[in-house]
Structure 1
Amino acid sequence: MKSHSSHWGAFRARWRDGALQVLPHPADPDPNRLIDNLPGAIRNSIRVSQPMVRRGWLENGPGPDAKRGRDEFVPMPWDEVLDRLAVELKRVGDSYGASAIFGGSYGWSSAGRFHHAQSQVHRFLNTVMDGYVRSVNTYSAGASAVILPHVLGPADNVARRNVTWEQIIDHTDVVLAFGGMAIKNTQVASGGVSRHVERDAMRRAADRGCRFICVSPLRDDLPPEARAEWLALKPLTDTALMLGIAHTLVAEGLHDEAFIEGFCAGWAEFEQYLLGRGADAIEKSAAWAGAICGISEAVILDLARSLAKKRVLVTTSLSLQRSEHGEQPIWMAAVLAAMLGQLGLPGGGLGYALGSLAHYGKSDNVVAIGALPQGENHVSDFIPVARIADMLLKPGDVFDYNGQRLRYPHIRLAYWAGGNPFHHHQDLGRLAAAVGRLDTFVVHEIAWTATARHADIVLPSTMTLEREDIAGTPTDPLLMAMHRVAEPYGQARDDYEIFADLAERLGRWNEFTEGRTSRQWIEHMYEEFRTKMAAHDLPAPSFEEFWERGELELPKKTDDGGMLRAFRENPVAHPLPTPSGKVQISSAVIQSLGYASCPGHPAWLAPTEPVSAEHPLYLIANQPRTRLHSQFDFGDYSRQHKRRGREVCSIHPSVAAVRGIADGDIVKVFNRRGVFLACAEIDEGVSPDVLRVPTGAWYDPVMDENGRLLCVHGNPNVLTRDIGTSSLAQGCSGQVTAVEIERYTGSLPPIRAFISPEPSQ
């Protein structure tokens, strides 16, 4: 058995009778079944087996081309394709400079710290091409990463070094979970997770008497072990509900005035808005909130009253801020926690993103493994990550971001490794048009994703099981040796080897490699970790011993509650990193920016594309439970949970009955941006005005009989809106979209997503 790790779990792997077997780490109390995608993926025919070049690019040369995604590919030997790519990189660099290159590679790929694809491509572009246009923030947390520093401090301090699961088990009276804390999300962590503890933590807290309240249109956003009450509000109305609770607290004198006075700034401005004494003259009462969010006034009043003088933890899932005005529920949740006087208390306050990743709710290790050095990026241009289509479609246009007026650069070449923008991004028809504007699109891929199919040059890369590495995170108790389990598929090569050969052709081999092989880099990174351990008088075995053993248990720091605990205990000695040093209930800085989409205090802002008679339902495009994003959608575990080969659309019985839809029917979901097909699953655990279709089904487009873009496989990002959350953060708004659904009665188009475009061998 060989040790290995992934973003969804540590495991052991072996070959038996010609088949790969994977077994979860023996210390994992709640293993993630996503590892079952690996055996069917490692030798799957959808793997990229050889370097391929798009025919149009090969015959016509670099330049914009609407045929990307629809063209055929030509196989090419490694030496020839790297020669051609080196010439193209030099052409773009010499003609336009490094600011014409976008280093994409937003994605998860391998859990290993050396073969981390983003690190590899960014190091290559920095050391060989003198830089690249970068992206900032994430699709998962684009809005919160910007708003939280204005209100409390860095998002990592609020999410990672704050309330722990142990605190909840011991101290919390009420968990008010906006967006829930779905187990499918807590089982994933960038860099690996060896022990999934969240399910048992919720069970133990509930056994002690902790009350869990799931505020979500989806009942299973909290697991059965939490024994949660389900408060099924309308999508996009969390901020209104929080305001209704806050109004009740103030109206009945249940808020913590002493905490607000001593630890908060900007209360007066917010209070005026809350009580209807501001410009809109509307009291944000429980009755007002109930009319918006679909929950009765009496329920809101009872809920608000039940929170007073309790140890309350207000949690917000990442899904809340992945929508238009996504900054508002995060800001308002912090304000609600402050009004209850709970910030900084063990098991109380704001649990931002708790339950969204396995990193969160855990104490840091004393020492963490480092990352591959990136080198220096000499290009200052950047975009918020979710604005890539805008950048490619609107070069030279001005846009707002967090108080800055920026200009989109003119990108000629995009280089991607280890990610799939045709999963993460919204309005995929628009993204395809945007990619068509490039001169050249280069992709390293293990398989023929939609991103690879839209590329000009596709270079086959190894998957995690085909290379050595080290997995480790700042919070997981194990540092894992990732042993090679299989030889590379076809002609696949490590990203590092590909970049090293390109660097040599461009005269920068030493700068990129520093003279090291992959194994020497892994040993070097381990020795740096070992030196840090020694600085803390902590023993660590030699690299050879570690590699043979397969793992190393890491000591944890003492849980001190982080920044918010220190602030609560001594606000003078430990002020928050905000303009006032306190919790910014209102922000003069944000107010001064004049963004109508993000005012100077948390506020209810109605969606600009609400449900309507034409599109009366909310589509929730949430994270899947059978894969990480779109990764290994072709694996056995993912494909076994599709129905009739397509993604599953969960629909309430009342909605299905009105439309004549039965369980197992193929349905089409549509709006003005396009259509996708899915298989209906009747489910009382979704609200009556909601459809749920998880993201990650590989994009498989055709044009329907009306000339609309149709994904036959069930990718909801055909329909989602490609707009920023606001002018402040410009985050992703793809979580919720207005749609209609009907039973599909036409001839079913075949699913081609898992059919390789490579010529038959």
Structure 2
Amino acid sequence: MAANPYVTSSSHWGAFEARAVDGTVQVRAHPADPDPSPLLANLASAVDPAVRIARPAIREGWLRDGPGPSDGRGREGFVEVEWDELIEVLAGELRHVYAERGPRGVFGGSYGWASAGRFHHAQSQLKRFLTCLGGYVSGVGNYSYGASGVLMPHVVGRGVDVTTGLTDWAVIREHTELVVAFGGIPRKNTAMNPGGMVRHTADQHLRAAVGGSVDVVTVSPLREDSPGSTWLPIRPASDVAMMLGLMHVLVAEDLHDPAFLERYCVGAPELLAYVTGRSDGVAKSPEWAAERCDVPADTIRALARRMAASRTLVTVTWSLQRTEHGEQAPWAGIALAAVLGQIGLPGRGFGHGYGSMADVGVPGAGVRVPTLPQGVNPVADHIPVARVADMLLHPGEPFEFDGSTLTYPDIGLVYWAGGNPFHHHQDLHRLRRALATVDTVVVHEPFWTAMAKHADIVVPVTTPLERTDIGASRTDHHLVPMHRVVEPFGLARDDHAVLAALADALGVGDAFTEGRSADEWLRHLYETWATSTGPRLGVDLPPYDDFLASPLLTLPVQPADRTFLDGFRADPDGRPLRTPSGRIELFSATIAGFGYDDCPGHPTWLEPVEWLGSPHAARWPLHLIANQPRGRLHSQLDAGAESRRHKVGGREAVRMHPDDAAERGISDGDVVRLFNDRGACLAGARLDDGVRRGVVQLPTGAWFDPVGDTELCAHGNPNVLTRDHGTSRLAQGTSGQHALVEVERFEGDPSPVRAHRPPDFVERPDRPQLSPPEFTAP
């Protein structure tokens, strides 16, 4: 059979071209991308029938017994049903919940990266639909930089983007002499971006900088995070102690910049009193820091002197704030840069997230992309996204967040579309207990992920390869026509079609669709965007049909001359920051006023519960780093070729130092068991002297694969081991990057990996007829 021609599409790891060939998909990189991601090799698995959801399905126990708390989620089989029945049953349950509990009884979770397309964006579709029904409880913030997202507006003000508004790579290449990278600059993450990137250039910029006049000192337990010549294998979770030690040297040796601190900052006296020990009697000297971070005091002292003598950029990865007290690392990082006095100068100062995302340090078009309006959610109740299990387990209980005391709502229905919390969330056995407490869990999914297997009502939806859309990133300067490559698998429908049918059944069809089909919405979104964007950029944008027929729409790119806070440095009075003082807040009276002992008013060393310096290390002597995977984005397309290539015997690979392995009788390729009080998982051992002694590294994203009713995951998901605890009462961000564990060689026959297999399907059980209350749309 002749192959179809290649058509363009896009993903969060880049644009590409694809075609259908005898029921399979062939993918190649987009010709405009100078550095395409190897993750494109995973895309063919999106049409693999073995992992797809073919038909609508309802959990056996829910269909038999009706809604209610159940520990059968994730354990029971499913009954496949027709679409008409699924729409009727789901519409009836939504009527019931809204009538009995109101919109405060519905959690519109939908946290995830389902598609690079701007219309078929699962979160937007679901939230628009739930808003039409009267609203929902929402999650705010994100798992990526949840702590920084709350902290930084207090420190540098709202409207200052410390993730994508940083100094451009081109400026770094020209002006920077020294980069001190806490957490390193992980190249593996520079392919990823919400909405995708057509031209991946971050890694090229990094290589050119390192190959030129820029030296990088990497402070990380993992050598792979180091692009430069100097690697300081720090004890995990102790970066703040080292930053304080560096500040101590700068102050003690009069290498700091008092004039900058006086002119551009508030709170320097309070911070420096803490650094020197005047406020608490403990000088944060290099010797004090060395005891905690395990970097020699002389090394800290020499580095501080070099930083003062160089054009220095201090950067902190997002990973460092995904820990207990995660607010402290970025706050200490910007304080260190302020003490040096170089913030706002070309190539110098502070950065947050180089190596954490493709668009950090890369200029884009500077315009908004086409977006589906979600409407205004009338429900004010919200939670930080990482507190979903707390919400379900503790309804009615108070919690603190960014200076407010809020109350967890009593949720009856969880509606999830476009994400997999069994990747993002921590302490997965606790998450399972939390999901067992609600009446109904609804999940839209193309694949039989763990979240789909823990649902009551499973809605099979299409993948981006099976629909038309507009690919666009928040910071790229391209729009990509995303063409349908293959027909929808089985009975799968796109999220919009499903929600439109539900909206019709519930009497809000016109409000949800506004009388438009999916194709008409795409035309409307593009034309509305083009009408406003073209004049702003001074260009004539093509009509929608011409855009679809083109390989790519390229917009003018902003000049690559951006320097973080340069305008503020040039005129702090005329261009003040949107902080209470108008200055950089090294001490925040606002945060201090909250009275949080887990997040004081200035950067502070706060010892975490789990690290190699704690008493817990006597029992659990290895520090687990659960970072982002190399072979996939989060857990997406875990069954794909590139993802499988990084596994060992079909299980996720755990890297550990050869000496730590030898002490435990572990050889390369062995099946090992990682465990602590929260759970255990199996993984394949990879010995690597680029991992610091006492540290093991197991990436996130292996599909959760529980073995019966045990606490064991057969596939290697590290979040059975991580602690579900907020970073602090300020941000309540995720702290799942680190945990203490032990590792042992697994003896006997390990459980087979079943993560990519569908659940059991059963015959329809008998069920009494339900008569839900009437529901009246708002």
- For residue 102 of structure 1, report the CA deviation from its aligned partner: 0.2
- Work out whether 1:258 is the aligned partner of 2:259: yes
| Residues 38-47 or 180-189, more deviating | 38-47
Q: Report Cα offsets for 1:525-562 as digits up to 9, x if no partner.
A: 11112112332231111111111013111112335636
- For residue 563 of structure 1, report the CA deviation from its aligned partner: 6.5
Q: Which amino acid aligns with 2:534?
A: A
Distance 1:153 1:228, change over 3 A: farther
Q: 2:737 aligns with which of 713, 735, 738?
A: 735
Match of 2:594 in 1: 593
Q: Distance in 2 between matches of 1:29 and 1:248?
A: 43
Q: 2:108 aligns with which of 103, 116, 124?
A: 103
Q: Report Cα offsets for 1:450-508 as digits up to 9, x if no partner.
A: 00000000010000100100011232121100000010000000000000000000000
Contact in 2 for aligned 1:272/1:278 (Cα 8 Å): yes
- For residue 366 of structure 1, report the CA deviation from its aligned partner: 4.1
Contact in 2 for aligned 1:183/1:355 (Cα 8 Å): yes
Q: Distance in 1 between matches of 2:621 and 2:131?
A: 48
Instruction: Describe how 1:578-657 pairs up with structure 2 within 5 A.
Output: 578-611=579-612, 612-657=617-662
Match of 1:524 in 2: 524
Q: Distance in 1 between matches of 2:588 and 2:53?
A: 51
Match of 1:695 in 2: 700
Q: What secondary structure does 2:481 align onto?
A: strand
- Work out whether 1:212 is the aligned partner of 2:213: no
Match of 1:575 in 2: 576
Contact in 2 for aligned 1:145/1:154 (Cα 8 Å): no
Q: Report Cα offsets for 1:46-81 as digits up to 9, x if no partner.
A: 100000000111011101001111011000100011
TM-score by length of 1: 0.97
Match of 2:29 in 1: 24
Match of 2:771 in 1: none
| Residues 603-612 or 401-410, more deviating | 603-612
Q: Which amino acid aligns with 1:285?
A: S
- For residue 155 of structure 1, report the CA deviation from its aligned partner: 7.6
Q: Distance in 2 between matches of 1:134 and 1:65?
A: 23
TM-score by length of 2: 0.95
Q: Distance in 2 between matches of 1:274 and 1:645?
A: 49
- For residue 376 of structure 1, report the CA deviation from its aligned partner: 1.5
Q: Report Cα offsets for 1:394-416 as digits up to 9, x if no partner.
A: 00000000000000000000100
Match of 1:747 in 2: 749
Q: What secondary structure does 2:244 align onto?
A: helix
Match of 1:49 in 2: 54
Match of 1:116 in 2: 121
- For residue 683 of structure 1, report the CA deviation from its aligned partner: 0.3
- For residue 590 of structure 1, report the CA deviation from its aligned partner: 0.8
Match of 2:190 in 1: 186
- Work out whether 1:239 is the aligned partner of 2:240: yes
Q: What secondary structure does 1:158 align onto?
A: coil
- Work out whether 1:477 is the aligned partner of 2:482: no
Instruction: Describe how 1:318-357 pairs up with structure 2 within 5 A.
Output: 318-357=318-357
Q: Report Cα offsets for 1:575-620 as digits up to 9, x if no partner.
A: 0111110010111111111100001110000012334111011000
Q: Distance in 2 between matches of 1:522 and 1:452?
A: 28
| Residues 346-355 or 384-393, more deviating | 346-355
Q: Which amino acid aligns with 2:720?
A: V
Match of 1:661 in 2: 666
Q: Distance in 2 between matches of 1:648 and 1:739?
A: 16
- For residue 640 of structure 1, report the CA deviation from its aligned partner: 2.4
Instruction: Describe how 1:362-381 pairs up with structure 2 within 5 A.
Output: 362-381=362-381
Q: How many corresponding residue pairs?
A: 753
Q: Which amino acid aligns with 2:81?
A: M
Contact in 2 for aligned 1:103/1:415 (Cα 8 Å): yes
Distance 1:181 1:19, change over 3 A: same
Match of 1:167 in 2: 171
Q: What secondary structure does 2:539 align onto?
A: coil
Identify unmatched segments of 5+ residues in structure 2.
Answer: 1-5, 764-778
Q: Which amino acid aligns with 2:221?
A: P
Q: Distance in 1 between matches of 2:550 and 2:42?
A: 26
Q: What secondary structure does 2:755 align onto?
A: coil
Match of 2:143 in 1: 139
- For residue 645 of structure 1, report the CA deviation from its aligned partner: 0.9
Q: Distance in 2 between matches of 1:210 and 1:560?
A: 17
Q: Distance in 2 between matches of 1:17 and 1:60?
A: 43
Contact in 1 for aligned 2:243/2:336 (Cα 8 Å): yes
- For residue 116 of structure 1, report the CA deviation from its aligned partner: 0.7
- For residue 730 of structure 1, report the CA deviation from its aligned partner: 0.4
Contact in 2 for aligned 1:309/1:340 (Cα 8 Å): no
Match of 1:726 in 2: 728
Q: Distance in 2 between matches of 1:69 and 1:211?
A: 50
| Residues 559-568 or 677-686, more deviating | 559-568
Q: Distance in 2 between matches of 1:191 and 1:395?
A: 35
Contact in 1 for aligned 2:350/2:564 (Cα 8 Å): no
Q: What secondary structure does 1:540 align onto?
A: coil
Match of 2:68 in 1: 63
- For residue 206 of structure 1, report the CA deviation from its aligned partner: 1.9
Q: What secondary structure does 1:41 align onto?
A: helix
Match of 1:711 in 2: 713
| Residues 35-44 or 371-380, more deviating | 35-44
Identical-residue share of aligned pairs (%): 51
Q: Distance in 1 between matches of 2:633 and 2:642?
A: 12
Q: Report Cα offsets for 1:61-112 as digits up to 9, x if no partner.
A: 1010011110110001000111011010011001110010000110001000
Contact in 1 for aligned 2:651/2:683 (Cα 8 Å): yes
Q: What secondary structure does 1:157 align onto?
A: coil
Q: What secondary structure does 2:689 align onto?
A: coil
Q: What secondary structure does 2:271 align onto?
A: helix
Q: Which amino acid aligns with 2:648?
A: R
Contact in 2 for aligned 1:675/1:708 (Cα 8 Å): no
- Work out whether 1:13 is the aligned partner of 2:15: no
Q: Which amino acid aligns with 1:582?
A: R
Q: Distance in 1 between matches of 2:71 and 2:10?
A: 40
Q: Distance in 2 between matches of 1:473 and 1:562?
A: 22
Q: Which amino acid aligns with 2:342?
A: Q
- For residue 19 of structure 1, report the CA deviation from its aligned partner: 3.3
Match of 1:418 in 2: 418
Q: What secondary structure does 2:510 align onto?
A: helix
Q: What secondary structure does 2:231 align onto?
A: strand
Q: CA RMSD in A?
A: 1.4
- For residue 342 of structure 1, report the CA deviation from its aligned partner: 1.6
| Residues 510-519 or 471-480, more deviating | 471-480
Match of 1:405 in 2: 405
Q: Which amino acid aligns with 1:59?
A: R
Distance 1:358 1:499, change over 3 A: same
Contact in 2 for aligned 1:428/1:718 (Cα 8 Å): yes
Q: Distance in 2 between matches of 1:295 and 1:563?
A: 29
Contact in 2 for aligned 1:159/1:353 (Cα 8 Å): yes
Q: Point out 4+ residue stretches in structure 1 off by more than 3 angstroms.
A: 16-19, 558-563, 758-761
Match of 1:672 in 2: 677
Q: Which amino acid aligns with 2:758?
A: S
Q: Which amino acid aligns with 2:141?
A: N
Distance 1:156 1:672, change over 3 A: farther
Contact in 2 for aligned 1:471/1:479 (Cα 8 Å): yes
Distance 1:202 1:560, change over 3 A: closer
Contact in 1 for aligned 2:202/2:359 (Cα 8 Å): no
Q: Distance in 2 between matches of 1:154 and 1:650?
A: 40
| Residues 88-97 or 13-22, more deviating | 13-22
Q: What secondary structure does 2:531 align onto?
A: helix
Match of 2:7 in 1: 2
Q: Which amino acid aligns with 2:752?
A: P
Match of 1:444 in 2: 444
Contact in 1 for aligned 2:171/2:561 (Cα 8 Å): no
Q: Distance in 2 between matches of 1:228 and 1:462?
A: 46
Q: What secondary structure does 1:125 align onto?
A: helix
